[in-house]
Chains A and B, each alone.
Chain A
Amino acid sequence: MEKSWLSKFLPNDEYKERKMVYFIAESAVILALLLVVFALINNYSLYGNSTTGTITLLALFFFIAYILVRYTLSGIEYTEVTTKTKYTKERKAILTRSIVSIILIVIFSIVIQGIPANLSESADIVGPAILIGIFTFFGNYTSLRKSYNKNRNLLDE
């Protein structure tokens, strides 16, 4: 089994271990779906209060963020990037994707909220879009670097 802190709590028998990992993962996915329902009920109904809804969303955010961070740091995303040329090409693609995502977010925000009337409203649209773009770029770039290093270490020559 893979090295993970979870393996300390799993049975030694490999069949049992594999089954347990699936059960835990299934349970986590169902829990995440329940959190979505719970957040919707608490944020958009007359019952409950928004603090409960916010905490629920935070829990949901943690669930997604943990998987994303582990996936990024494990270097398993860019399995074919083994040369410097491929690495540079992929880095450019990541940069382009990030810029496109910023532009798309700005366009969607304008479509939903309307054309900004002043500088402050413009900043409210452009600011978060740039932040998301930067986050997307660095997330993908880290994943690429990790993948590249991992792939280089696994080459047979």
Chain B
Amino acid sequence: MKNRIKVARAEKSYTQEQLAKKVNVTRQTIGLIEKGEYNPTLRLCLSIAKALDKTLDQLFWEE
């Protein structure tokens, strides 16, 4: 699944590791989500969106 987490994370100047700690997963999981190789649960999507001050639409909606 394509998403804009990497861009949003860069805007916040977070490393993958920092974001991972904030949402309580591993850095590897963040890497996999950014690459579109893992579909996170809605619960994790919400945590990531909150951590990056974005809405789910801004991060995951396909235009």
Q: Name A residues whose Cβ lies closer than 8 Å to a Cβ of B.
A: 12-16
Query: Interface size (B, Cβ < 8 Å)?
Result: 10
B38 touches A15 (CB 8 A): yes
User: A13: which B residues are within 8 A, CB to CB?
Assistant: 24-26, 29
The B interface, classified by DSSP as helix, strand, loop or mixed, is loop
CA distance in complex: A15, B37 (Å): 11
Other A-B contacts than A14-B44, A15-B32, 18 sampled, CB-CB below 8 A, are A12-B24, A12-B25, A13-B24, A13-B25, A13-B26, A13-B29, A14-B25, A14-B29, A14-B40, A14-B41, A15-B25, A15-B26, A15-B28, A15-B29, A15-B38, A15-B40, A16-B26, A16-B29
What is the number of contacts between chain A and chain B, taking CB atoms within 8 Å? 20
Among residues of B, the one whose C-beta sits closest to the C-beta of A16 is B26
Q: Name B residues whose Cβ lies closer than 8 Å to a Cβ of A.
A: 24-26, 28-29, 32, 38, 40-41, 44
A-B contact pairs, 13 of them (CB 8 A): A12-B24, A12-B25, A13-B24, A13-B25, A13-B26, A13-B29, A14-B40, A15-B25, A15-B28, A15-B32, A15-B38, A16-B26, A16-B29
The A interface, classified by DSSP as helix, strand, loop or mixed, is helix
User: B26: which A residues are within 8 A, CB to CB?
Assistant: 13, 15-16
- Shortest CB-to-CB span from A55 to chain B, Å, is 40
